A and B are shown apart, each in its own frame.
Chain A
Amino acid sequence: DAGVTQSPTHLIKTRGQQVTLRCSPKSGHDTVSWYQQALGQGPQFIFQYYEEEERQRGNFPDRFSGHQFPNYSSELNVNALLLGDSALYLCASSRRQGPQETQYFGPGTRLLVL
């Protein structure tokens, strides 16, 4: 049973560019959440997708957008990259059950913005 997978594993971009990160959820999961984790910090919640719609959103600007596909996979798009966007981007999947639903994380994509 494949767990959560993310691609690419590493990425280097320059300021002002745009980036797309991808996530495939664990089998049987229908909900995908995205997080940004800076060095030495806990993950910061970006947003969550369920039924191809954004259901929850953290305090991130509109430069951060996403999409969920009918097969439950998801993309995170970041426009007009800033140096401060350099971080580990984590995807987590879950089966929508309510507040106690358990999230399983992928290995993340390390983004470096130069």
Chain B
Amino acid sequence: RKEVEQDPGPFNVPEGATVAFNCTYSNSASQSFFWYRQDCRKEPKLLMSVYSSGNEDGRFTAQLNRASQYISLLIRDSKLSDSATYLCVVNIGWYSSASKIIFGSGTRLSIRP
């Protein structure tokens, strides 16, 4: 089982729709969580960190469920420019010698006019 799993998609939704992705993680020592977006043949860019209380940034809402070990990303009123691959990132055991950073394989989102 992968340590961080995402539905690869693609999710193909109309402009203006609401879309949600989940990402599950298996290591209970996971300490911090992020969503990045990556456009085709470009580097990943931070979209938002994910906090236990949940956080919102404009049309984007991220939530963390430690009990079920998943994080989610909700995009409201989707725009054509939201088309990208969304990467879930987990930082495990940051204070230990066995710490590591794990990226999911990404979820492809395509917004159609």
Interfacial residues, chain A to chain B (CB-CB below 8 A)? 33, 35, 40-45, 48, 55-58, 90, 98-100, 102-108
Contact = CB atoms under 8 A, between A and B. Distances in A.
Interface residues on B, range: 20 to 34
A90 B102 contact: no
Interface of B: 31-32, 34, 42-46, 49, 87, 91, 94-95, 99-106
A41 B105 contact: yes
Interface centre among A35, A42, A99 (most CB of B within 10 A): A42
Contact of B100 (A41, A43, A56, A107): A56
**Shortest 4 CB-CB contacts between residues of A and residues of B:** A42-B103, A99-B32, A105-B43, A99-B94
Contacts of A57: 100
A97 to B, nearest CB: 10
B91 A99 contact: yes
Contact of B103 (A40, A43, A104, A106): A43
Highest count of chain A CB atoms <10 Å: which of B49, B87, B100, B101: B101
Contacts of B43: 90, 105-108
A67 to B, nearest CB: 19
A40 B107 CA distance: 10
B103 A99 contact: no
Nearest to B98: A56
Contacts of A43: 44, 87, 103
A96 to B, nearest CB: 10
Nearest to A33: B101
A104 B45 CA distance: 7
Given A43-B44, A105-B44, A106-B43, A58 B100 contact: yes
Given A33-B101, A56-B99, A56-B100, A103 B46 contact: yes
A35 B38 CA distance: 14
Contacts of A104: 46
A58 B93 CA distance: 13
Contacts of A41: 105-106
Contacts of A99: 31-32, 91, 94-95
